[in-house]
Structure 1
Amino acid sequence: MSQGHTTILLCVFTLFITSLVLGVKERQPDEECADLNNTTWQEYRQRRVKLQVQYMLLTRRNLDCAQTFTQESLTDSQKPSYFNISCPTKVIVHGYRALGSKPSWVKELAWSLLRAQDANVVVVDWIYGASFAYNLVVENYKEVAVQISVLINQLQKHGCKLESFHFIGVSLGAHVAGFVGTLFEGKIGRITGLDPAGPMFKGADTFDRLDPSDAQFVDAIHTDSDYFGISIPVGHVDFFLNGGKDQTGCARSRFASMYGYVICDHMRALHVYMSALNGSCPLVGIPCSSYEDFLKGSCVDCGVFKGSCPTIGLTENSGITISPVPKEQKLFLLTSSMSPFCAHHVLLQLEVSPLDKSAEVEVTLRTESLGKEQRLRLQTDTTVYRAVLAHPLPLCEIQTIELKNTGARFYRQGDIHVKSVCVSPIPSSRQDVPLCVNNFHVRRGSPWSHDFVQLCDYV
């Protein structure tokens, strides 16, 4: 075959794959596209007795035009259904809607799921029951779960297996998904909770909230556990991003935008999850008993999972290969302030000679374009200090380590003898060799630096 023919075939093949991934389909000219509802306070007062749970379907064949999804849409020969029984089914469940507006992120999440996997994506629309008064919405969530379970039962009759269902619940939607799992005695394949709601659920019985018994595998991402999210583990694995509370890049002032101050932390779980689905970089959690211990460098590997660190995304059981999967495992990771949110974890270990006075050292890991600082407060009764920091680039790309004695007050140590300063990647493995510099002095007002040889292998 000539080179020209080969090029044409490759182009055709590329177009075919692109159309498959992007969901190009033969759309019917008279087909109406479904969308989620909005509601107003007046409508809410009129309709709150009726939940009006509705569904819409997105697949790779109808990415640009959601289909209203009902039991009839599977059997009605007059209009096409894009539901494919042989594919897994993702069920998206939104949470509380304070103002009755439809969630703007639903289609983006659906598209991220479909880029990652050929599946049926069913979106649950329960806006009428999820709006305005939070305490009344909480009263509705189990009824919503019951109605969803009716649809799941109908799909089972068409040949769908319970283990093929993966629920993705956002905020209160995570507990809706959990109760669906309870109704099916934990036989649902997977539930992912994106910052599961905390108010009215933290002290609730496991029957009333998401917990590991609700599915064969339950994973959760926590980003706002001090306000709108829940602070306790609710899955087999629970990823606490930046400790599960204040997220980098979210406003800390009430004078900032309403989104930035009120719900940025809460919605960060959703945006990180979508970033993970897009495959920009791995988001790996490290098991540890507390965030404080994690930051102190007390937890550097994934021994509890026999070396396989859990990851955020669609990997089966988050990448855990041991059986049975442990329950309620707290996992910690640091993220950057914007998409794709990935950060490389670095363990910093500093050993100094005994000090006469307290001191403060600023350690900076620097590349050509950026640097990452970490401050360590040195005491007279301690000589070894460990800390975990996040860097946008892998350790092998770090060119320079800098130390600065920032103790400017007269009662601070003026001259620090450093026995060693070492940096190593986390999670660690037996093959990882720390980068260390030994035996030097850091004087007040005279920064010290050392250049590393870049070791990244790009082959």
Structure 2
Amino acid sequence: MSQGHKMILLCAFTVFITSLVLGVKDRHPDECADLNNTTWQEYRQRRVKLQVQYLLLTRKNLDCAQAFTEESLTEGQRLSYFNISRPTKVIVHGYRALGSKPSWIKELAWSLLRAQDVNVVVVDWIYGASFAYNLVVENYKEVAVQISVLINQLQKHGCKLGSFHFIGVSLGAHVAGFVGTLFEGKIGRITGLDPAGPMFKGADTFDRLDPSDAQFVDAIHTDSDYFGISIPVGHVDFFLNGGKDQTGCARSRFASILIYFPVYGYVICDHMRALHVYMSALNSSCPLIGIPCSSYEEFLKGNCVDCGVFRGSCPAIGLTENSGISVSPVPKEQKLFLLTSSTSPFCAHHVLLRLEVSPLDKSAEVEVTLRTESLGREQRVRLQTDTTVYRTVLTHPLPLCEIQTIELKNTGSRFYRQGDIHVKSVCVSQIPSNRQDVPLCVNNIHIRRGAPWSHDFVQVCDY
């Protein structure tokens, strides 16, 4: 499906699907606050003006968000749950094609609060973020200006700019970036979850998220060929599965929300994967680390296997300071690549396969399987007559030290593929690698068609 077709689908949905309107109203201090909704009819008839409100969640009010303003902290008002001595996470949603409030806000806030004892401030700009995308883009800087007013007020109460961490989803990443611009890059951190691409791919750094917007900027890219941006925008940029097509998304459906338009789940699945992977990283003990490389193709070929540019410390998705990078100053616009699974927790262990064969008369295909007692992961390697050494990156749910068996199978056709294959050596090693790692190798293997070969490894994990 082309980008144009996806955008047409989104526009069609905005015409036919409407939601209940919840306006910004005066609330009793003890009343739980919620994000707004708007409708296509209201948008056309009333032309709702840009309205921004803020919700506060902490460990003390997990299930009841508090409407949050600067007045919440002033003397004479009901005590706010906001704690000036704690860091503050600011969540900024993006474009809302249907005018509905994001369903993922609370889950992200709860994930952040489980990981750290912080203030979570949610920016609600639904009224300015809905329906006509080109008009929404015209609003994003004004939203950033309004947020900056709140940040200035919080500074007067003792908050430090370095204590703020903005987490922007899609267009929200550029909102956060402009807030950072207004504060001359003194904001502590900005995380962009698949920063929006349309109308931003050729934009000046002043108009989009970039490394100068905060002391540290990290981004996760999952739909860089459609709704996400394809260029690096942070100090480190994680390109999951190349940053374009995500595993499992072709069959994804958000049927509970869009019963009549099930294809919508496919349209935004890649784009929203960055958010779900980020939440999974906050909740899981399984690390999601990126490997620096010039391109995804070079990464898949196994030509990038370590993190030397970061002095051996590979960046990880999550809340670790500077993504775990200890080198100073932090390099800018570093492309990082990693493969993920199709479901939470999305973690996959990377394995480098090196296969050397004797010269072939015809092309061939070898199926390589890394197997444990209960799990097997296959990868097919196409062999050509002009190449004898092949390198490729495989993934497995378990680390290399738990893999018990390697299997090779000649899967070539009887009539036009190589019948027998002589494998000089097959080696597997973990990624990222270090000097102490020793590849697991087997030499001098003869594989006949229809006669799979296997070898058992005897190894112990040193956790």
- How does the TM-score come out when normalised to structure 2? 0.90
Shift in Å at residue 78 of structure 1?
3.9
Give 1:401's aligned residue: 406
Deviation at 1:399, TM superposition (A): 1.2
Secondary structure, in 3 states, of the residue corresponding to 2:250? coil
User: 1:7 and 1:72, CA in 2 relative to 1: closer, same or farther beyond 3 A?
Assistant: closer
| SS class of match (2:158) | coil
Secondary structure, in 3 states, of the residue corresponding to 1:246? coil
Q: Which stretch shows the higher mean deviation, 231-240 or 246-255?
A: 246-255
Give the drift of 1:7: 61
1:87-146 C-alpha deviation (Å, 9 max, x unpaired): 001000000000100000001100100111111100000000000000000000000000
Q: Is the CA contact (8 Å cut-off) linking 2:19 and 2:39 kept in structure 1? A: no
Distance 1:175 1:420 in 2: 49
Q: Secondary structure of 1:251's match?
A: helix
Shift of 1:398: 0.9
> Distance between the aligned counterparts of 2:124 and 2:300, measured in 1?
40
Does the C-alpha gap of structure 1 residues 23 and 278 become closer, same or farther in structure 2, counting only changes over 3 Å? farther
Evaluate the alpha carbon distance shift between residue 200 and residue 74 of structure 1 in structure 2; reply closer, same or farther with a 3 A threshold. same
Shift of 1:60: 0.8
What is the alpha-carbon distance in structure 2 between the residues aligned to residue 150 and residue 426 of structure 1? 45
Write the distance in 1 (CA, Å) between the matches of 2:2 and 2:356: 65
CA contact (8 A) 1:23 1:62 kept: no
Q: CA deviation at 1:356?
A: 1.7
After the TM superposition, which residues 293-304 of structure 1 pair with which residues of structure 2 at under 5 Å, given as runs?
Answer: 293-304=298-309
CA, structure 1 residues 238+3, in 2 after alignment: closer, same or farther (shift >3 Å)? Answer: closer
Give distance in 1, aligned partners of 2:350 and 2:85: 40
Per-residue deviation at 1:12?
A: 56
How far apart are 1:411 and its partner, in Å?
2.8
Distance verdict in 2 for CA 1:47–1:210, change over 3 Å: farther
Deviates more, 1:35-44 or 1:224-233: 35-44
User: Residues 208 and 19 from structure 1, CA distance in 2 versus in 1: closer, same or farther, beyond 3 angstroms?
Assistant: closer
Task: Give the SS at the match of 2:206.
Answer: helix
With over 3 angstroms needed to count, the CA separation of the structure-2 counterparts of 1:284 and 1:7, relative to structure 1, is: closer
Write out per-residue CA displacement over residues 198-247 of structure 1, whole angstroms, 9 at most, x where no aligned residue: 01100111111000011010000000111111111000000000000111
Q: Which runs of 5+ in 1 are unaligned?
A: none
Matched, 1:329 2:334: yes
Aligned counterpart, 2:444: 439
Q: Per the alignment, in what secondary structure is the counterpart of residue 19 of structure 1?
A: coil
| Structure 1 residue 414, shift from structure 2 partner | 1.1
Greater CA drift, 134-143 or 3-12: 3-12
State the Cα deviation string for residues 260-291 of structure 1 (Å, max 9, x = none): 31111111100100011113311000000000
Distance change (3 Å), C-alpha of 1:273 and 1:7: closer
Structure 2 vs 1, CA of residues 380 and 9 (structure 1 numbering), >3 Å: closer, same or farther? closer
User: CA shift at 1:5, angstroms?
Assistant: 68
Partner of 1:173, secondary structure, is helix
- Paired residues for 1:16-95 under 5 Å: 30=30, 32-45=31-44, 48=47, 50-95=49-94
Provide, for residues 321-358 of structure 1, a one-character-per-residue CA deviation record: whole Å limited to 9, x for no partner.
11111111000000011110000000000011111221
- Distance in 2 separating the partners of 1:115 and 1:100: 29
Partners of 1:100 and 1:261 in 2: how far apart?
Answer: 19
CA contact (8 A) 1:94 1:169 kept: yes
1:287-324 deviations in whole A, cap 9, x for unaligned? 00000100000000000111000000000000011111
In structure 2, C-alpha distance between the alignment counterparts of 1:293 and 1:345, rounded to whole Å: 14
CA contact (8 A) 1:48 1:129 kept: no
**1:455 to partner: Cα distance:** 1.7
Q: Displacement of 1:377 after TM fit?
A: 1.0
Alpha-carbon distance, 1:429 to partner: 0.6
> Is the 8 Å Cα contact of residues 22 and 60 (structure 1) preserved in structure 2?
no
1: CA distance between counterparts of 2:96 and 2:58? 25
Contact 1:225 1:244 in 2 (8 A): yes
User: Does structure 2 retain, via aligned residues, the 8 Å contact 1:38–1:127?
Assistant: yes
Root-mean-square deviation (Å): 11.8
Structure 2 CA distance for aligned equivalents of residues 7 and 41 of structure 1: 17
Aligned partners of 2:42 and 2:48 also within 8 Å: no
Query: Mean alpha-carbon deviation: is it higher for 208-217 or for 42-51?
Result: 42-51
Are the structure 2 counterparts of residues 438 and 121 from structure 1 closer, same or farther at C-alpha, using a change threshold of 3 Å? Answer: same
Residues 40, 19 of structure 1: alpha-carbon distance in 2 compared, 3 angstrom cutoff: closer
Distance 1:6 1:271, change over 3 A: closer
Q: Report the count of equivalent residues.
A: 457
Question: Judging changes above 3 Å, is the alpha-carbon distance between structure 1 residues 25 and 349 closer, same or farther for their aligned structure 2 residues?
Answer: farther
Q: Deviations over 1:6-41 (max 9, x none)?
A: 9999999999999999999999994x0000000112
Contact (CA 8 Å) 2:195, 2:221: kept in 1 or not? yes
Paired residues of 2:20 and 2:37 also in contact (CA < 8 A): no
Measure the CA separation in 1 of the matches of 2:27 and 2:235. Answer: 41
CA, structure 1 residues 12+418, in 2 after alignment: closer, same or farther (shift >3 Å)?
A: closer
Report which stretch shifted further, 280-289 or 6-15: 6-15
